[in-house]
Structure 1
């Protein structure tokens, strides 16, 4: 049996970091993942997928992920349920991530998080390389 998922999408808001009563870090966030087709009206649709991370990964995500950032998530799908205040059974499907990759460099927006610029800001401009620099 296999339960494995890989998603690439953008965060819909900043991650929420909490700690369990035992002191274990847990972070929750949602990523928007584009569907591979458009609706009948020609509009692109997306799925909004909840993600949970634990321990050191949770703290790393809380420190470095922000709303809008392109992110890859690898983990497993988990379905849990509980009884709400009205006595109805509620089912929650989420991805429990064991690997999260930050796919974009930090933007230079002058914020207080210490961002130092976009690593790929000059992407697409010609680079001056001589024939002597090429390995072939």
Structure 2
């Protein structure tokens, strides 16, 4: 079972990278120079690629935990009594587990990833 306190530093890094993506998307008037860009790179911004690369360094279980925290933040509440580790484990079991790359894609599809992760983190810290 993954422990929330062991994940918190990685989660904070992910939240910081998600904030950079959000800032870029909010200020998106950038004109792309396509001369040196490969076709496969067009689907992700440089900020998104930094987050994707970081998420790929995490274990499958850590990625699933982060995705679960994202959904917890989206839902905004947790109907569970217990500590943060038990709550995270409970919520991870509610979420269908996909391959790590699919879960990363799901997270990157969320414009409000940053907001969801902040809210999910707050909920879990509140029950520590």
Please state which band the TM-score falls in when normalised by the shorter chain: under 0.3
TM-score normalised to structure 2 length? 0.20
Question: Which structure has greater helix proportion?
Answer: 2
Looking at CA atoms only, which structure, 1 or 2, has the larger radius of gyration? 1
TM (norm. structure 1) is: 0.19
Structure (1/2) with the larger strand percentage: 1
Q: Which has the higher contact order (CA 8 A, sep 6+)?
A: 2
